[in-house]
Structures are given as structure tokens and as C-alpha cells.
A and B are shown apart, each in its own frame.
Chain A
């Protein structure tokens, strides 16, 4: 029950030593954290902002909001690892989150002309030259951020086109080359000097060309191998997954055997098996050491693979490549149980059953990916540490040689595109600061605005109604069609109508509930109306006790409590659990005094060169 206190009782206090301090909502990170998706996104894309633009059919604007932040909306709308979705608030009040990622694609698919809105390379350069090694998403992001500021950019890559692993690894049936060409094109058009088909073999020689700064975005190009009996004898039919995928992408490989085993449980394994199905593999199996739930692949990647008749065998540890007459005939595996010790550490223990044998014509090894920097001489001042990885500052992405910066998979090992982009933005800021002679540690503050959405007594300038619709499914082409042709894109994307309906599911978590205690008359109207029992007026206390005594216990510790003092009548505190607030605005509609207001919070990560120009949003 709501802990009401009748009247100020003499001697009753609210300011015990360990009671929760009132929330400082002027700290941009407080409300930023409430926007779960944006907070979880490595480059902090303003998700609800672009979803509202989609709902308003302003696709081009939605695209540009994305482009500003994540550089590759069309690519990411198809391939992003989407850390935003597990974080989405909607997943805490119903079964599934908003299809944030696929809505990005809706913006990209339906946008109008964007060329005119893209930045241009300035007519006059600033005289500084920057080399970018590797043309993956990390380097391309650095190029996009620095070129408009007047830097001269030399972009090196050993492939014929820009895109890095987005082009060489991600299969065309997930990411059509046209989309890649378009979005890498917007960056190359900024007057970037392209040095493609050029493998950089010596950092020393790069440095000798007197660049003012060098960015290393060479990714994590080495696929792990599996040294088991039979590996050399059967080598002709055993491939390292990421090498095999790029050979397929560059059309050096067109076929594969009828029976294929794919080893590994990550997204690379999923791409290998699905590619194999399209190159003639009829009996394709994925074999994984771990349990199904512990596989690294995203749930949707596993679903898509299984939907293409690819079974996944879990808890099978590879023992041997079995070969006969110099030719691979299959592989044997040890079946294991997963055992956890009292410290929660996991080990795989053989069940003792006889080995399992699977026949195979070809095996694809997709068990991991490593960095390799054979081309960086070790005496240049670029320090290498554990696992022969360069020593990089996690905030500035600077190496121990001040003019050399790293980002993307090259900096801290293989991650994903959106992380590479986020790191590219940060590296670009550092390079710009460095070349302007400022400290790279002086990071620019985010651009933040907080604007009331009130339009009338009960009118808001955002659509505050909460719809019940369940997550819409993205339609796929028929399996028979998809499996026949590697180049057919499997996902069709939401059409505009489904896109609108899905967009309506967003809860507008950036429209914040802002409380002004001085206005509150403690009538409880907001407490009573709140559909998810977020609001409480009660005596302050230590956080654990307070969390336990709310109308609905605040057990999600990842979500903050919004605490406000200054209530004049009872001197209690207002405590709002942010966890499942629907941002429906009912509290503010119900409040007789306007003590609650719904205010749109816009959080924009400052990019290189933007720090001195205040945000226009």
C-alpha cells in the first residue's frame, strides 16, 4: 500500500544519513539512461526520435537522424547486432521489444533524395593529412567525420571496394551490394583519396609519408583454425570460415559438397551454413561445443538458419577429421555434458558415450577470429601488450605513438559494425583535437535539450497513446526461391504500412516525466492514474528499503529511481521507478498543478568539430 503520511509529525525527518539523494536531472546521463535503446546503442542513435519520424512518414528525416549517428542506416537496418532491442523498455512490459533495427531499414527503403543533405568536402582543405588503413566501417566513419572539416584523407584497403568485412564477409543475401555501394559512396564522395587494391605492408613506410595522423581500421582478419588429427591430410576439403566467405563474396568459390559440416556457434557459422545451402549443400549441419542458449550467434540468426533446414547439434566437441584415401569423409565428435562448478565456471565433461560420426564432403571452421598486425613494425613506438594487441586508450583510441589511432575490430578485437562506427566517431574526435593541438582527453560534452511537449490542457506534441500490438514479423522471400540464388535478399523488409504499425509500438522513452516538487499539492492523482504503478510519495529511506516499499517493488536494479524532495505539505519525497514507465503522460494529464510535465530529451553525441557549434535540435 502507498505509504501515506497524514500530516507533518513533529520530529519526523526525511534526511537520514543514507537516504537517497534527490536526483540531479540536469546531469545528461540521468535521462539518457531512461532512453533504454539509445543508451544501449554504442553510437547512441536517437532511436525514438527517428521512430516518431517514421510514424510521421518523414522517412528522409528519419534516415538523416540515423545517418548523423550511425553512418550506415541501410546497412545496419539489415545487419546490426541491435544491442538496443534487448534493452528496449517494451520488452519489459510485454513479450517483445520494438523492431528498432528493421525500422531503420524502413527509413532507408522509403527515403527520398538525400544527396543534397549530405555534408560536402570543403573547397579549401586545412592542410592536414590523415591516412586511414582499412576501409571498413571504422575507417569510413573517421573519413566521414574528418573530411568535411577540411582534412585530406588517404584511404587504403586491400580490397577493390570500400566496406571491409561488410563487403567481404556478410553474405549478399543479407546485405545487397547496392546498399553497400550507396552508403559507402556518400562517404567516398567527400573527396576521399582512394588507394584500393593496396595492401599496406609496412607501418614504417606509412609514417614516412609524413601524415599528420594515421588511423588503423584493419579489423580482425584472421580466422581461427582447428588443429585436430586429419587436418593436413584432409585439407583440400577443410576451409576457414571467414576466408571461405570472402572467397564466395569475391566469386572465387561457387560450389560446395552435398554434405557440409559447419563448426562453431557464432554469427560467422550461421552465415557459413546458410551460404553453403545456396552453393549446393543439401545436408548442412552446424555442430557446436556449447549449449544452444550459450551460442554466440544472435537468436534471430539461429532462427533463420534453422528455417533453412539446417539442424544445430549442441554439446558436441570435435575430435577428428576422418579421411579415407586422402579425402575427407566426415568428422567424429565427443558428446559432452555441461557442468558448472560452485564458482559458476563452466566445463564440458564427456558423457563417455562412443564418439558421434557425421559424414561430410566439406567442413567449414567458424570458431573464432583474431587480430594480426604483422605489418606494424615493433620498433616504431606503437606498444603491443597482451595477446599481441596494441595498447590503446579506451576513450581516445590513441596508441602509444601519439599520432597513431586505432578503432573498430583492430582496437579491441572483433565486435560488430555499430561498435566500429561508435569507435570511429571517437577516434575522429581525438584526431581532430590532436591536430588542433588540444588535449585528446578533453572530450566534448553531449548536446542535450529538454523541451516541454505540452500543447494544450491535455494535448501533447507526441503521440502518447500506448498501442497493444505485438511485434510485427518481417516478411521473407519463399525458401525455395531464396535457396536457389545466393544473391536473392532473404528479408523483404517491412512495407510502409507494417512499418507505421511497428513504429507505433515505440513508447517514446525520450519524452521524460519531469517533476517539480514546489508545484505539487500531494493530491495523489498521478499515483492513482499511473498504469504501471511507477509513482510513489513516501518517506525517504536507504535505497534497498525504499525499493522494497514502493507500490510495486523496484527489483530491476539496472533502472534508476527518480527521487525529488521539496514537497511542502508532508515533506515526504516523490519516488518514481523508471523501470516500466510507459511515458504515456497520464500523470502529467492528471496533475492539477502541472507538477509533472512531459519533456522531450534529445541527446546527441558530439562529433568531431561540432563541439563549439551548439546543437540546433
Chain B
């Protein structure tokens, strides 16, 4: 068993604009089962952050409990991180964000962590439009505790012993849109080409960006009869490819068929969606919900950027909080003196 990755790199390994190679964004060697979809998502996060690019020390990785929630140990080894309690990542991130709004928050959660124990917390983070990227690594089971059906398991999907799940699943993307999330996407760990630009777009979005990523559990949920396996997902996926074009770059890719829609982000970067045909309006929640439901009914998994609201105010704007991280405030700002105190008191009379 290898515990340490060799330090050698490809001599022609790319270096990003900040001078880092991909390997500078890696974490320690994963201890997840070999072939786990979660590891693929970690690699996609690395790829997204490497190519955006972001500086490692500007990022905070937040998580709860589960195999998925363990993964922040396996990417961005030079970033900040907090591994919290089961289902409590949203509240811890809310606190962290209030204390330091300058960091880029990447929350990693599981379908158990989000759709069961953390369901309430999840709803409130969405409602507050917390400025973060929230990724659910959705394998339809509790991987860490040996594969029990989770709340996102499809009805009829068989567990490893062959028993069919009796309950209807919670569809997290529909739920997020209904709760007022301002950026909602779905993808598949095995579709790096779509996932990486989607993560980049989510990281660029101001407000709550939610990504539901189907992520097969090779050990407990990758068998015949499972609806979250590699093979099943690849068969049923309905992917809308997209590009993320950072502000500074020219647009290079070209897709032949279908319509291309461009979505301009706050910082000037552009998301280009390549639709097979003119489906629905991703800036209209109702239209998005309909499209998702329509595909669900047909047994297809609609992936890509599903919904975006570019105008909503994120939590700090709503609360009118101080613009700088709390740790940068000095005595001067924190104890503004009698005059200010008097005026506050006067206001309360």
C-alpha cells in the first residue's frame, strides 16, 4: 500500500497563471475505496481551482461526516478546512463566512449528510443565500456506514443484498430551486468535461451555488439494479455540455449542433451552454423545475447548469455586514469612541 504519492511531476506539467502546478492543489492520498466517484469529484475540484485559478490559501473547505465529507483531506492540501459534525456543515460555514467573507467557501457533503440529518441546516443555508459552493456527492447511500439506502435513493433501486428501496427519493436540485437557491446544477463524477466548468461557474457565482453530483459508490452501490452506478448513470444521463470562459480569455470551443446560450457572470466571465435543442429558460425557476420533472418522469438524469438567478443578494449584502474580515478589524474600528456610542444610544432612545 502506498501512503505517499511520488514527488516527481511530469516535466511538462502545466503551470497556472499564479505559478502553481496541479499537484500544488492536491491533498494527501485518498483512503476511500479505489474507484469511488468522490475521488473523481476531488480531482474535478482541483482541476477547477487550478485552472480558474484561485490561490490555495484563499479557499476554505467545509464538510460534515461521511465518505464524501472526508474528501477535503484529499484535495487542496494548502487551503483552510473545517470538518464539522454530521449534517452541520451549513451552520459552521455560515459562521465562518460571517467572520471572514474574503475566503472562498467550498462545502462538500453527502446525500445522507444533506438530505437526511442535515436537511434542516441545508434549507436555511439556501434561504440565506450564503455565499458558498455547496457540493453534494450523491451516491444514493450512506457509504461510510456500509451502504444503507439514503433519502436520494430512487424508488425501486436495489441495494447490494438485492432489496428494493420502497421510498420516493428527495430530488435535491428541485428542492434547492424551490428553497430559493440562486445557482443550481447537476452533474456526474464520471463526466469531467461538464463537471469542471460547472464547478468553476459555481465558484464564480455570488451567492449560494448548489451542485448535486451523482457519484457512484463502487463498494456498496455500483451493482446491477442500482440507479446510481457508473453504467446506469452513463446510460440515463441527459447532459447539457457547457464551457466556463473566464473574463480574460477568448472563447475557443465550438459546438456544431443545437443552440448556444451565454450567461454572463458578475465578474465578467461567461458560461456557455450548448443545448441539443431549445429547451427551457435557465433563468426561470418554474421552467427549470418543469424540465427536471419531465426528465425524471422519463427516467433520464438531466445534468448541466439547471437554474441561475444572477441578481439576488447574498447573505452579507442582506445583513449589511462589515466589508472586511473580522480578523482585520483593529481597536479603532471595534471601539469607535464615545461619540459613536452616544449616537447609537441616541438612536435607541
Contacts and interface: CB of A to CB of B under 8 A. Distances in A.
A binds B: yes
A459 B36 contact: no
B216 interface: yes
A525 B10 contact: no
Given A6-B237, A521-B231, A528 B10 contact: no
B10 A580 contact: yes
Most buried by B among A457, A458, A529: A529
A202 to B, nearest CB: 58
A553 B303 CA distance: 30
Nearest to A6: B239
B5 interface: yes
Contacts of B33: 592
Contacts of B230: 521-523, 569
Nearest to A92: B11
A114 interface: no
B34 A590 contact: yes
B190 A524 contact: yes
Most buried by A among B6, B14, B234, B241: B6
A582 B6 contact: yes
Interface string A1-25: 1111111100000000000000000
Interface stretch (B39-47, B55-63, B132-140, B260-268): B39-47
Interface in B70-85: none
Contact of B234 (A458, A570, A582, A590): A570
Interface in B228-278: 230-231, 234-235, 237, 239, 241
Contacts of B47: 1-2
A8 B194 CA distance: 15
Nearest to A93: B8
Interface residues of B, number: 47
A387 to B, nearest CB: 42
B301 to A, nearest CB: 10
Given A7-B237, A523-B40, A523-B216, A1 B51 contact: yes
Nearest to A593: B35
Interface in A455-489: 457-459, 464-466, 468
Contacts of B14: 552
Interface string A511-529: 0000000000111110111
A555 B10 CA distance: 12
Contact of A589 (B1, B23, B234): B1
Nearest to B229: A521
Contacts of B216: 523
A94 interface: yes
B194 A553 contact: no
Interface string A76-117: 000000000000000011100000000000000000000000
A283 interface: no
B243 to A, nearest CB: 11
B12 A553 contact: yes
B235 A7 contact: yes
A533 interface: yes
A529 B74 CA distance: 11
A589 B237 contact: no
B9 A532 contact: yes
Contacts of A555: 12
Most buried by A among B192, B235, B237, B239: B192
Contacts of B218: 521, 523, 592
B190 to A, nearest CB: 6
B163 to A, nearest CB: 23
Report, as a range, how many residues of chain A touch the other chain. Answer: 35 or more
A524 B40 contact: yes
B112 interface: no
A466 B5 CA distance: 8
Interface string B212-238: 000010100010000000110011010
A522 B218 CA distance: 12
Contact of A584 (B2, B9, B12, B13): B2
B227 to A, nearest CB: 15
B327 interface: no
B35 A569 contact: no
B191 interface: yes
A528 B234 CA distance: 19
A525 B237 CA distance: 20
A531 B9 contact: yes
Contacts of A593: 35
A521 B36 CA distance: 11
A524 B1 CA distance: 19
B39 A525 contact: yes
Contact of A531 (B23, B35, B231): B23
A586 interface: yes
B37 interface: yes
A591 interface: yes
A585 interface: yes
Contact of B188 (A6, A459, A585): A6
A374 to B, nearest CB: 52
B196 interface: yes
Contacts of A458: 1-2
Nearest to B194: A6
B330 interface: no
Most buried by B among A468, A525, A582: A525
B338 interface: no
Nearest to A3: B193
Most buried by B among A457, A459, A552: A552
B2 A585 contact: yes
B13 A5 contact: no
A1 B192 contact: yes
Nearest to A537: B192
Contacts of A590: 34-35, 39
B5 A7 contact: no
A4 B6 contact: no
B345 interface: no
A198 to B, nearest CB: 55
B13 A552 contact: yes
B343 interface: no
A13 B307 CA distance: 32
Nearest 7 Cβ contacts at the A-B interface = A592-B35, A466-B6, A458-B1, A528-B43, A4-B192, A4-B193, A6-B239
Given A6-B234, A465-B6, 11 more contacts: A1-B51, A2-B193, A5-B193, A465-B4, A466-B6, A468-B7, A523-B40, A531-B23, A532-B8, A552-B12, A589-B34
18 contacts: A1-B193, A4-B191, A4-B193, A6-B237, A6-B241, A93-B8, A464-B2, A522-B230, A523-B189, A523-B216, A524-B43, A531-B5, A531-B8, A531-B9, A552-B10, A555-B12, A580-B11, A589-B1
Interface of B: 1-2, 4-14, 22-23, 29-30, 33-37, 39-40, 42-43, 47, 51, 188-194, 196, 216, 218, 222, 230-231, 234-235, 237, 239, 241, 303
